[in-house]
Structure 1
Amino acid sequence: MSDEFDDALALQEHSLKVDLTNRKPEGPGPRGYCLECGDEDVGGRRWCSAKCARDWERREVQRLGR
C-alpha cells in the first residue's frame, strides 16, 4: 500500500516526463543569418521574425518526431 510520499513521488516523476516530452527544441545559437529563411539582416538573433522562429520550431518538432 502506498503512502502520501509514494504518491507525491509518482506524480513528480509523471510531471517531469510530460515536461521533457513537451519542451521546445532549443536549436543552435545565432549564426549571422536567419536559420529559417537565410536572411542576413537579423541583428545577432537566430531568426528574422517571429514567423520564421515558429516555422523553424514546427519543422524541428516534426523532424524529432514529437
Structure 2
Amino acid sequence: MATNPPSGDGHRNGAVKGRSQFQHPNGTWFKRDKSTGQIMDGKADGTKFKGVRREKPKGK
C-alpha cells in the first residue's frame, strides 16, 4: 500500500469513516456518528470539518 511520507506529520490519508457532517441553520457545522445518529461535535468558527462527508439537506 502506498504512503504519503513523511509519516507522523499530523495529516490524515483518506476520508474519515463512520461519520458525516451537516450545517445547522445558524451556520454551525456538526459531526454525526453514522451508526447511532448522535451528534458528536460542533465547530464554533463556522468552517467545515476536513475529510468528513457532508449530508444532503432534506427536501432537496
Report the TM-score, using the length of structure 2 for normalisation: 0.21
Q: Relative CO higher for 1 or 2, CA cutoff 8 Å, sep ≥ 6?
A: 2
Report the TM-score, using the length of structure 1 for normalisation: 0.20
More strand by share: 2
More helix by share: 1
